[in-house]
Chain A
Amino acid sequence: MGLSNKEKGVEIIAVSIDGKACGNYEGLAGTFAGFADSCLRMKTLPGFFRTDLTVSGELKERRLSLALPGAKRTPAELTEILDTALLNIVAFPSTQGEAECFIEVKSEK
């Protein structure tokens, strides 16, 4: 039997866009906290620091609800932005393990 996420020191983050699941990412434990800090304190996504892309959001327990103000973005565009942001905080797509952190994204006009 393999090690648990906690034993390995990793966490699985599930991403959904406009209510639809779009993939899980594995990062070192603390990655979700870093991602949330980026969005809530710095108002930006990892890899998008001091760009035009600002974000706003709300954190409840291990669930981060995000809005990306500005023009309406397609789910494909949002998926790509989130994929880039998570890679920039050194989290990678994963098909293993159960998610314990959640990022829910919706676009805003």
Chain B
Amino acid sequence: MALKTAQEYLDSIKKMKPRVYIGGKWITNLLKNPVTKSMVMANSAIYGLAEDPAHKEVMVATSHLTGEPVNRNLNVARNIHDLDMRQEMALLTSQTVGTCNYRCVGCDALNSLASTTWEMDQALGTKYNERFNKWLAYAQANDLAVSGAITDAKGDRKKRPSQQDEIDTYVHLVEKRDDGIVVRGIKVSQSGAIGSHETLVLPGGSLKEGEEKFALAFAVQNSVPGLSYICQYNALSAEREACDNEDELGNPLYGQRETSTMYFDNVFIPWERVFLCGETKYCGKMVTRFAKAHRMNCGGACKVGFADLIIGGTMMAAEYIGVEKIPHIQEKIIDMVRYSETSHACAIAAAMRGREEPKGSGVFLPDDLFGNAAKLNIAHGFYEIIKNAGDIGGGLVVTAPRQKDLDDPEVGPVLKKAFGAVAPADKRMKVAKFLQHWTAGLHGVGTWHGAGAPQGQRFMFTLLTDFEKKKKMAKKLMGMKEE
């Protein structure tokens, strides 16, 4: 089996028993809690896209290891077309589920691993790439849902990992054994880890000599003993748990973006699943390569898919109250399109200017500058987009009663009178709830920090931009002589 259907994924997850805590309780069945279920249903929809012949070009790739068709979420990009289809997949999945493609981080992590383990084997004579390829072939053959864990808890940011008062703020090595390693520590903000079969764990940043115990990359099955997940919990989680009809929610089927804190409590990892252990010199490369892939996909495509949904909802809100032809409304909607399509253009450019990295590896990664531009642009642009959605959607976006209240014999008629306009009240309130999900939910901060906060992209701009060359060009045109 190379491609799982949505139903086969659901069937497999029904039997998985990760140790998951959410909102004050440990749960044993992901599909019985409405919040965790929304995450699983989103992943299921991603599997479903690969079944649809209309999306085959985007969602299905050919494994470079076996020549078999594989889900693109498990594909290593081997050319420009692969990179382009990868960012198109991020766009399509966001447009489809209005939340994370929870296999996305895993996909970018495995591309970084393919590149960096190859380089390590060439330079150090290690066998990491061979191991990684065997793991990948197995994941592809069984079409596993693979999430990615990068961000350590980090503790006091002024201190290096080994200087922290609480060493568990970084995932680290506890013991090396003949058959594998034992690890402990904490990774935070891990999207969709609970509903995956496996997670790829990468170092959270560059490391120095002397910090070998934090230099780890490995694949872990998500229900192994010692691994626990503490899910995020917020007003939207509580609303979903409390409501008796999910149709009333802003994103009824797939919910908000579900993440968890992953706690590794002396978890054993067999050597066959270890792809970096102690080689501090390669941690920075591994993270940077992950980031350049993820910034193209997360910044320039995923959030653009969200923007498409927000723009659609905002236009409906305008039409429902009869303001869609007013010039300043049209101008604001055009601005929303401008922010979003500029980011998508950066993602396409990042794919088109992608290159093999390192030379000889066969692994293609996006252009760094354009990928960072995509992410930085959408980080700021997304706030403008949701600002305009709130502006055009009006106060109702945050003041609407429940949809269900329209059916109440006493207050329903009042609400229908109050909110009926060009469109009836129920349609207006449905759109208001949809826009509330985006403008007053988690996606603003999520977009800002996802794939790294903008300061990281600004730092990369400083590194990647040849400012001296620009000065030289300007001087030449001005007729100034070089000093």
Contacts and interface: CB of A to CB of B under 8 A. Distances in A.
A21 B16 CA distance: 24
Sort chain B's interface into a size bin. 20 to 34
A29 interface: yes
A30 B17 contact: no
Interface residues of A, number: 27
B17 A33 contact: no
A109 interface: no
Contact of B16 (A10, A34, A50, A87): A87
A10 B138 contact: yes
Contacts of B221: 34, 46, 88-90
A45 B17 CA distance: 11
A33 B15 contact: no
A29 B134 contact: yes
Contacts of B137: 8-9
A41 interface: yes
B444 interface: no
B180 to A, nearest CB: 6
B279 interface: no
B33 interface: no
A28 B137 CA distance: 10
Contact of B134 (A28, A31, A45, A90): A28
Interface in A27-43: 28-31, 33-34, 37-38, 41-42
Contact of A84 (B17, B131, B138, B270): B17
B138 A33 contact: no
B224 interface: yes
Contacts of A83: 15
B312 interface: no
Interface string A31-75: 101100110011011111110000000000000000000000000
Interface in B1-58: 12, 15-19
B19 A49 contact: yes
A50 B26 CA distance: 11
A87 B272 CA distance: 18
A102 B10 CA distance: 29
A92 B143 CA distance: 12
Interface string B205-236: 00000000000000001011111100000000
Given A28-B134, A90-B144, A34 B224 contact: yes
9 nearest A-B pairs in the assembled complex, by CB-CB distance: A30-B270, A9-B134, A30-B272, A47-B17, A88-B223, A42-B225, A49-B225, A37-B268, A33-B179
15 contacts: A8-B137, A28-B135, A29-B134, A30-B271, A30-B272, A33-B180, A33-B268, A34-B180, A34-B269, A46-B221, A46-B224, A47-B16, A49-B226, A88-B17, A90-B197
Given A31-B270, A41-B268, 18 more contacts: A10-B138, A28-B135, A30-B271, A30-B272, A30-B273, A33-B268, A33-B270, A34-B180, A38-B224, A42-B268, A44-B225, A46-B221, A47-B18, A49-B227, A84-B15, A87-B15, A88-B17, A90-B142
